[in-house]
């Protein structure tokens, strides 16, 4: 069975049959080619998907600039002591701040040089943007300014990462895999479907999808790929 070359990482081929929606379906296995010497910039790297991805990339020979609003020094020292060399560095940054992300990029570049992959992954679940609907108390409450932190982190923070990635890639030559750079956004299945409890979250993820579709077209044929993933519910610890 032939499969198109996956857009995210260099591919070595193969497929696997797994149960999917009650049927056995063939899915491509995406074993990563050696990533020796490749460098990734991952936001939200202190836990969950970002940390799991960091460990996987390091195990394939890549180096990772781990960005998080929280500390990831412990994870960094574990990875570096296991490898016996510097394979990861931690940069504290709030992704909703362009200045902090840019400073994190500059620090990473000084240590590792070119960056092949940017993962715009940091995100949060729904933070209530309005008080709960309750007509019986509403008249006693003032009308408030909505809290849009969910949009700020899940959309603006990820777009800042994308803006950084695309400008960095534009300035790079092709690497040994034949590309200038790859950008991956973490969206969600709620980018496709409405949610009765997470309107801001679903809006932010839907926006990421259309941003990705549009930007992938703009950069097509330029050695730069832009993709998004749509996880459903996943455990936080891997
Ligand atoms: N876990 C799921 O079920 C699930 C499902 C679909 C999509 N997602 C998406 O996956 C991504 C990763 O989520 P996760 O499940 O690994 O969650 P997680 O909470 O384990 O990891 C998110 C990380 O992002 C960091 N972060 C949050 N706000 C930040 C900010 N402003 N600046 C820098 N870092 C920040 C957190 O400190 C944390 O380490 C998110 O975009 C999330 O929306 C998760």
* Residues 6+ away with beta carbon under 8 Å from 50: 42, 43, 44, 66, 68, 119, 121, 122
pTM here?
A: 0.90
Report the mean per-residue pLDDT for the chain: 91
Torsion of CA 18, 6, 189, 24, to 10 degrees: -10
* Residues 6+ away with beta carbon under 8 Å from 110: none
**152: its two tokens:** 């700020």
- The confidence score (pLDDT) of residue 4 equals 40
Decide: 49 in ligand 1 pocket, CB within 6 A: yes
- The confidence score (pLDDT) of residue 1 equals 35
Torsion of CA 185, 204, 237, 28, to 10 degrees: -40
- The confidence score (pLDDT) of residue 30 equals 60
Distance CA 183, CA 90 (A): 20
Rg (CA), the chain: 19
Taking the centre of ligand 1 as the mean of its atom positions, its distance from the CA of residue 103, in whole angstroms, is: 21
Average pLDDT over residues 7-35: 64
Identify which of 69, 79, 169 has the alpha carbon closest to the alpha carbon of residue 122: 69
Nearest-CA residue for ligand 1 atom 38 is 44
Q: What is the pLDDT of residues 68-93, one digit of tens each?
A: 999 999 999 999 999 999 999 999 99
Q: Quick one: angle between helices 158-170 and 98-112, nearest 10?
A: 40
Decide: 50 in ligand 1 pocket, CB within 6 A: yes
Is-contact 201 231, C-beta < 8 A?
A: no
| Ligand 1 mutation pick, 49, 103, 105, max ligand atoms within 8 A of CB | 49
- The confidence score (pLDDT) of residue 61 equals 96
Is-contact 104 67, C-beta < 8 A?
A: yes
Confidence category of residue 23, pLDDT binned at 50, 70, 90: confident
| Ligand 1 mutation pick, 122, 154, 193, max ligand atoms within 8 A of CB | 122
- The confidence score (pLDDT) of residue 6 equals 43
Is-contact 165 120, C-beta < 8 A?
A: yes
Which carries the bigger pLDDT value, residue 9 or residue 236? 236
Confidence category of residue 24, pLDDT binned at 50, 70, 90: confident
SS3 of residue 130 by DSSP: coil
Taking the centre of ligand 1 as the mean of its atom positions, its distance from the CA of residue 11, in whole angstroms, is: 26
Q: What is the pLDDT of residues 45-56, one digit of tens each?
A: 999 999 999 999
Decide: 48 in ligand 1 pocket, CB within 6 A: yes
Nearest-CA residue for ligand 1 atom 43 is 123
How many secondary structure helices (H) and strands (E) does the chain include?
Answer: 7, 8
Across 54-87, b (16+ Cβ under 10 Å) vs e yields bbebbebebbbbbbbbeebeebbeebeeeeeeeb
């Amino acid at each position: 069975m032939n499969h198109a070359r996956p857009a995210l990482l260099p591919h070595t081929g193969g497929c696997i049959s797994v149960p999917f929606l009650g049927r056995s379906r063939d899915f491509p296995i995406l074993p990563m080619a050696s990533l020796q010497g490749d460098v990734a910039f991952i936001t939200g790297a202190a836990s969950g998907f970002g940390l799991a991805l960091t460990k996987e990339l390091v195990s394939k020979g890549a180096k990772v600039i781990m960005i998080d609003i929280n500390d990831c020094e412990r994870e960094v020292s574990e990875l570096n002591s296991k490898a016996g060399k510097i394979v990861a560095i931690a940069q504290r940054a709030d992704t909703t701040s362009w200045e902090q992300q840019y400073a994190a990029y500059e620090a990473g570049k000084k240590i590792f040089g070119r960056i092949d992959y940017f993962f715009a992954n940091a995100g949060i679940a729904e933070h209530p943007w309005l008080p709960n609907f309750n007509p019986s108390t509403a008249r006693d409450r003032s009308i408030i300014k909505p809290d849009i932190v969910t949009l700020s982190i899940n959309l603006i923070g990820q777009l800042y990462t994308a803006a950084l990635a695309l400008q960095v890639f534009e300035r790079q030559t092709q690497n040994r895999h034949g590309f200038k750079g790859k950008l991956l956004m973490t969206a969600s299945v709620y980018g496709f479907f409405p949610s009765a409890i997470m309107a801001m979250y679903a809006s932010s993820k839907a926006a990421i999808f259309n941003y990705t579709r549009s930007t992938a077209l703009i950069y097509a044929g330029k050695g730069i790929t832009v993709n998004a993933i749509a996880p459903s519910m996943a455990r936080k610890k891997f």
